[in-house]
Amino acid sequence: RVSAERPGRTAAPEGATAAFVGGYLAAWTAYGLVAYGLFRAVVGVDAGFLTWDREGPLVAGAAVAAAGLYQLTPLKRACLRRCRTPLHWVMHRWRPGLTGALAMGAEHGAWCIGCCWALMVVLFALGAMSIAWMALVAALVLVEKVLPRGERLAAAVAAVLLALGVVFHVTAPGAVLA
């Protein structure tokens, strides 16, 4: 609709929408490929110390706690603000044509990645193939982005992630209680 109402439009609204979505998906695909590449590099090293009966819980706890800290940063808030209001963003960052729509989608996707990347790291730390963790993280992302005042959830999520990181550290094999 926004594309159709612009003076001198160069692309049909359907094409612009598809290009916008394509740019958004391209940004997330790039993030996913980088994350997967890093994961494969770590697995390729065959770091035995990362097993769950050795230092794995400490590494997972550190990753979860770091994600919790990120939830409290100004960057997280800025990214979430832009990701929560795509229509306002599109109206003020308009670029004409299909390539403009593609670029806008990629830029919007980058803001959303900035908002959610740390929660995606939590999935790697807690089990990338765990349907329960995936559902929980997806629900958190949805609530933060969609519900009125959902951005206020970030602090609560941070507290839970920090506590979970501490639990992993304390319950790690050979952990010393301080």
pLDDT of residue 8: 58
Query: How many Å is the maximal CA-CA distance in the chain?
Result: 68
pLDDT of residue 144: 82
Q: What is the predicted pLDDT for the residue at 177?
A: 41
Amino acid at 31: Y
Q: How far apart are CA 17 and CA 104, in angstroms?
A: 10
Instruction: pLDDT tens for the chain, 178 residues: list them.
Output: 555 565 555 555 678 889 989 999 999 999 999 988 987 887 777 666 566 666 677 777 888 899 999 999 999 988 888 887 777 767 777 787 888 889 999 999 999 999 889 888 888 777 666 788 778 888 888 888 787 777 778 888 888 888 888 887 677 655 544 3
What's the distance, CA 11 to chain centroid? 30
Which among 116, 126, 1 has a CA at the least distance from the CA of 62?
A: 126
Give the global pTM. Answer: 0.75
